[in-house]
Amino acid sequence: MSPRAKSAPLPDLILEPLVRAALMEDLGTYGDITTRTVIPAGTTYSARLNAREPGVVSGLQIAALAFRLVDPALKITAHKADGDVIAPGDLLMEISGDAASILSGERVALNFAGRMSGIATLTAAFVAETRGTNTRVTCTRKTTPGLRIVEKQAVLHGGGFNHRFGLSDAILIKDNHIAAAGGIRPVLQSVKARASHMIRCEIEVDRLDQLAEVLDEGGADVVLLDNMDTSMLAKAVDMTARQVVLEASGNMKLDRIAEVAATGVDYISSGALTHSAQVLDLGLDF
């Protein structure tokens, strides 16, 4: 994995409600009773957040926020940044101050950082398979409820791109929309008549005759080529001659990405980036 362009961090103001809710879930109504019972008041310590396996780190901003919400007096020193490639044993962050505060924030910080780093690492692996092409890897809406913003940020840290964030920021006409609206032409005619000029439109097809109908009717900025085999994807690229942006989707697993990118599609979207990523092993060591 090679270094990647860094995306700007999100404002803590956006992240804080997510982290605060996770802390409240963990601390409950009476706080960390184990720590309060066994750690003498005033005990200070310095903890180290370390990588235990290779990957791309993400969620360090969130981890730091978790510790600060528990105790603003904690001193946090970053040694790596979100989007960095890491190796086992790498020091990612140091947290110094009240030992009880560090222990109370530990699990929430690790849950976020491990989950987000797993997404970033899997995304980086997908992106590596597109090397030498102009194809971009993008995520989907198949995210953990309530965590979409941070999971999509992790995709960026892995070198991928973000698809729409929700139902309100782009038109994406799926097969069920087409069936309910009476066909490809009626649904595209409706978009042209009713949609704002500021909103982009994507339409899903799974056959080349449907793609031809989309191109003939017009009104779509992006065509999602769903569950097509590789030879059909290559024919779709030839048919469109760059008239529209093409996104390949459906069963896009790591071992298939290189051959799909070689067809010349503009984007490959995969829900696996967020719904199937394995947590990256990170540890907080005292």
Of the listed 6, 174, 192, 253, which one is catalytic?
Answer: 174
Q: For residue 16, give the amino acid letter.
A: E
Scanning 92-229, the segments in alpha helix (DSSP H) are: 99-128, 148-157, 175-181, 184-194, 208-217
Residue 204 a catalytic site member = yes
Catalytic residue among 107, 136, 185, 256: 107
Q: Is 115 a catalytic residue?
A: no
The CA-based angle 242-247-145, given to 5 degrees, is 150
Q: Which of 204, 217, 247, 266 is catalytic?
A: 204
Residues at the binding site for substrate are: 107, 140-142, 164, 174, 204, 226, 249-251, 270-272
Is 226 a catalytic site residue? yes
Active-site residue (options: 52, 136, 142, 235): 142
Q: Which residue among the candidates 84, 129, 226, 266 is catalytic per the annotation?
A: 226
Residues 6+ apart with CB under 8 A from 136: 130, 160, 161, 266, 267, 268
Residues within the annotated binding site?
107, 140-142, 164, 174, 204, 226, 249-251, 270-272
Distances (CA, A) of 49 to 64, 77, 93, 244: 11, 10, 5, 46
Asked if 73 and 108 touch (Cβ cutoff 8 Å), the reply is no
Which of the residues are catalytic? Answer: 107, 142, 174, 204, 226
